[in-house]
Each structure stands twice: as structure tokens, then as C-alpha cells.
Structure 1
């Protein structure tokens, strides 16, 4: 089993960050570019991976009361992850993403995972900033 985790501070209230992260129809805006989520009957979703051109049955569970988003493969236990948003005071939040690969064959490796997590958190921050600027303007 391999586990990876990355965090990023974002200049917004935790509720705003979680609301942006948990919008199922906008997950593609911040997830790794090769992944696309199609909602079915939540928590059921399908994840399409461009690199392999495969669809995978998955679960996505937003937990707004905990400001947490959890996901994983549905039929096989190959992969799971979560995103947690925590308030830091003064209008900032810390977002942590954690990934677990239970099957080593599905683990793309530390460097690729860390690059994907860092890029995803950066895109999420851009989405949050865009939303904050739109709300303020």
C-alpha cells in the first residue's frame, strides 16, 4: 500500500473552499487533467481516465458537516482518497488531500502523484479565488 498527502493554504473561508471543491459538476476544473467525473446517483460516480481511455466505477461522498470529501473505487478496493478543509483564522484555510493506493499496480509513483496533487491544489485555489473575486465584484 502507498499513501500520499499534500496540503495548501488558500485565502478564503473554509466553507467557501469546501463548497468549491465539492461541486460535482466542477470537479474537472481542479482534478488532474486526465480525470473526468460523471455523477450518477450519488455517491455513485464514474471516473474516466484519458490516459487509459477507461471508465471506473467509483464513490464520491461529500461530508459538508466535516468539510470533507471522500472517494474511492466502487467495485474493487484499489484506491481511495479524501480532501479535508480546515479553517486557519483570518479568512484563510488549509486544504489537505490524501491518496491511498491499495494495489501497487495502480500506484503511478511518488513523483507523479505529488506533481498531480500540487497541480490540483493550485487549480482548486484558482477556482476559489475566481469565485471569491466574482462574489466580491
Structure 2
């Protein structure tokens, strides 16, 4: 098993950050750009991967009381992850994303995963900023 984790500070309270991250209709705006999530009957979702042109059955659970998203492959059990939002001083939040690859063939490697996670967290921060700025204006 291989695990990866990245964190980023967001300019909003944890409830706002979690609401943005957990919005199933907006997941594609911040997730890795080659992944597209289509909700079925939650927690069931389908994830389409552009580079392989494959659909994968997955599960996605939002636990608002814990400020946590959890996901993973449904049929194969090769991959799982979570996103945790925690409040920090001055109304900001820290978002941590953790990925676990249970089978070597599913692991794209450290550089690819870190690049994808950093890009996703950056896009999520942009979405949070737009939401905060829109609410203030």
C-alpha cells in the first residue's frame, strides 16, 4: 500500500470550505482535471478518467458533522481517500487530502499524485475565494 497526503490553508471558515468541497455538482471544478464524477444514488458515483477513457464505480460519503469527505473504488478496492477540513485561527481553515493506493498498478507515482493533489487544492481554494468574495460583494 502507498499513501500520499497534502494540505493547504483556505481563506474561509471550515463550514464554508467543506460545503464547497462536498458539493457533488461542483466536484469537477476542483478535482484532478482528468477525473470527472457523476453522481448516481449517493453514496454511489461513477468516476470517468480521461487518459484511460474508463469509468470506475466508486463511493463518495460526506460527513458534515466531521467536516470530512471519504471516497474509494466500489468494485475493486484498489483506491481510497479522504478530505478533512479543520478550522484554524482567524477564520481560516486547513484542508488535508489523503490518498491510499492498495494495489501497485493503481498508483501513478509520487510526483504525479503530488502534482494532482496540489492542483486540486489550489482549484478548491480558488472556488472558496470566489464564494467568499461573492458573498461579501
How far apart are residue 124 of structure 1 and its match? 0.1
The equivalent residue for 1:105 is 105
**Does residue 83 of the first structure (1) align with residue 83 of the second (2)?**
yes
- State how far apart, in whole Å, the 1-side matches of 2:135 and 2:41 are: 30
The equivalent residue for 2:57 is 57
For residue 3 of structure 2, give the secondary structure of its aligned residue in structure 1: strand
- State how far apart, in whole Å, the 1-side matches of 2:104 and 2:25 are: 30
- State how far apart, in whole Å, the 2-side matches of 1:116 and 1:13 are: 24
- State how far apart, in whole Å, the 1-side matches of 2:90 and 2:84 are: 18
Q: Mapping of 1:5-20 within 5 angstroms? A: 5-20=5-20
How far apart are residue 76 of structure 1 and its match? 1.1
- State how far apart, in whole Å, the 1-side matches of 2:6 and 2:55 are: 26
- State how far apart, in whole Å, the 2-side matches of 1:45 and 1:17 are: 22
Any unmatched runs of 5+ in structure 2? none
- TM-score normalized with structure 1 length: 0.99
How far apart are residue 89 of structure 1 and its match? 2.1
Q: Mapping of 1:1-137 within 5 angstroms? A: 1-137=1-137
- State how far apart, in whole Å, the 1-side matches of 2:25 and 2:46 are: 12
Any unmatched runs of 5+ in structure 1? none
- State how far apart, in whole Å, the 2-side matches of 1:10 and 1:57 are: 30
How many pairs were matched up? 137
For residue 20 of structure 2, give the secondary structure of its aligned residue in structure 1: helix
